[in-house]
Amino acid sequence: MAVEGGAKCVKYLLFFFNFIFWLCGLALIIIGVLAKVPVNTSAIIKGYAGSPLLLIVVGVIIFFIAFFGCCGAWKENQCMIAMFAVFLSFIIIIEIGAAIVGYVLLGTMTDVLNKGFDIMVTEYNETENSRILDTLQQDYKCCGKNSSVDWLNSKFLAPNSVPDSCCKNVTQNCGEGAIRDTSKIYTEGCQPILDKFLKKNFLMIAVTALIIAFVQITGIVLSCILVQAIRNGYEVM
């Protein structure tokens, strides 16, 4: 028996909600990918790589659950709608856990970056970490941890020299003797720039997660109302 009256409005609201929910899943996937790209450029923040990956996984799950919810609402299937509400509840729990982990990691991010840059600058050589640091310096147009002068602490560079990746125009040996030459190299440190960039990313993730959580709670409420309306309809029959 098809639902009527107010329940029919709930049915279409739930169908519309699932379309919005589907878009939310797509948004989580995109944001997770965008946040993961800069995180993957540095080994000094390995602990943070999992958060964007979790967003991508949750986004994919939401993407498919939304389709499941659409079918349940359109067919007025109690079982499908009820399972949809249960899945949403589990996702909200996962998101709360991710938010707590993200908040804890955010508080330690500056310390992690500081320690990471200290090690990478002091022990700069031809290792994988060195290539990652070179990429950071070129991508963010920076040099060293807090400034180019940090390279005085390096064991592997000539005196008053910086890696060629600090140069505004990269050529072989362009960093030799140029530690304070602002015309040739970037002198601003990478740590403050990267710290600000990552915190901005986490803030974007947090705001997005809050909006999506509100949408999910709305979906659970609508699902419960529609299931009850369908059940009542069968009881009348």
- Band (pLDDT 50/70/90 cuts) for residue 208 is confident
Q: Helices in the chain by DSSP H: which ranges? A: 5-39, 50-75, 78-122, 128-139, 190-236
d(CA 120, CA 98): 29
Is the pLDDT at 56 greater than 70? The verdict is yes
d(CA 212, CA 218): 10
Please give the pLDDT value at position 6: 63
Read off the tokens for 177.
Answer: 């003797």
Read off the tokens for 161.
Answer: 């020299």
The Cβ of residue 59 has, within 10 Å, a number of other Cβ atoms equal to 20
Higher pLDDT, 221 or 230: 221
Report the percent of the chain where pLDDT is more than 70. 85
Calculate the dihedral angle through the C-alpha atoms of 151, 135, 125, 192, rounding to the nearest 10 degrees.
30
Q: How far is CA 132 from CA 4, 52, 124, in A?
A: 61, 19, 11
**Does residue 224 contact residue 10 with C-beta atoms inside 8 Å?**
no
Cβ partners under 8 Å of residue 167, min gap 6: 174, 175, 178, 184, 185, 186
- Band (pLDDT 50/70/90 cuts) for residue 182 is very high
| pLDDT, tens only, 97-122 | 777 777 777 777 788 888 888 888 88
- Band (pLDDT 50/70/90 cuts) for residue 124 is confident
- Judging by beta carbons within 10 Å of its beta carbon (0-12, 13-18, 19+), is residue 114 exposed, middle or buried? middle
d(CA 69, CA 139): 42
Higher pLDDT, 233 or 201: 201
Read off the tokens for 34.
Answer: 């965008």
| Highest mean pLDDT (candidates 6-15, 35-44, 64-73, 171-180) | 171-180
pTM (predicted TM-score): 0.59
- Band (pLDDT 50/70/90 cuts) for residue 52 is low
Backbone conformation region of residue 198, classed left if phi is above 0, alpha if psi is from -120 to 50, else beta: alpha
CA angle 208, 209, 214 (to 5 degrees): 100
